[in-house]
Structures are given as C-alpha cells and as structure tokens.
Amino acid sequence: MIWWLELSLFGLLVVAALIALSVRDMIAAVATLSVYSFLAAVLLALMGAVDVALTEAALGAGVTGVFLIGAISVVERRTPD
C-alpha cells in the first residue's frame, strides 16, 4: 500500500539491530533494542496484525527494556566486546 514507508521502516529496523549489536554501552544497547521492537510493532500494525503489534509494543518495547535495565544494574555497565 504505502510501499516506501514500509521499506524505510524496514531499513531503520535493520540499522537499529546492527547498532544494538555493535554498541559498547549496555544501556545504549537496551535503548536501541527498544527502538527495534517499536519499529517491528509499527511494521506489524501496517501489515494488519494489530493484535500482535499491541503485544509487541507492550512487551518488546516496554517491559523487556525494563527487565534488561534491571539486569544491567546488577552486573557491570560496559562490556569489553
């Protein structure tokens, strides 16, 4: 339908995934992973799966980020690799 919007969102999805893999700071990695989940939710809503998009936005972009930040506060923040 809006093919250029879906294509640009998919490009941003790949860029967000690569940034989340390559960044050193763990908090920045968690934030980028939340951006990835939100873009995936927008793509799912554009495809018509609103129920799956609601679950992805609530769990992937919201609760998972909070859980990962809670885990980072226990271990060290910067990673050598």
Partner 1 sequence: MNDRYDSVILHFIARVFLVPLILVFGVYVLLHGELSPGGGFQAGAIVAAALLLVRLALGNRQAALRIPQGLLIWLACIGLGIYMFGGILPLILGYNFLDYAPIPVDWYNQFAGEARTARSMGILIIEIGVFFGVAAVLVLIYDLVAGSSRQ
Instruction: Name every residue whose Cβ is closer than 8 Å to that of residue 79 and which is 6 or more positions away in sequence.
Output: 24, 26
Give the contact letters, 18-37, x = binds to partner 1 (CB under 8 A), - = no.
--------------------
Residue 14 burial (10 A CB sphere; 0-12, 13-18, 19+): exposed
Site string for partner 1, 38-67 (x = CB under 8 A): ------------xx--xx--xx--xx--xx
Please identify, using beta-carbon distances, which residue of 9 and 59 lies nearer to partner 1. Answer: 59
Site of interaction with partner 1 (CB under 8 A) = 50-51, 54-55, 58-59, 62-63, 66-67, 69-71, 73-74
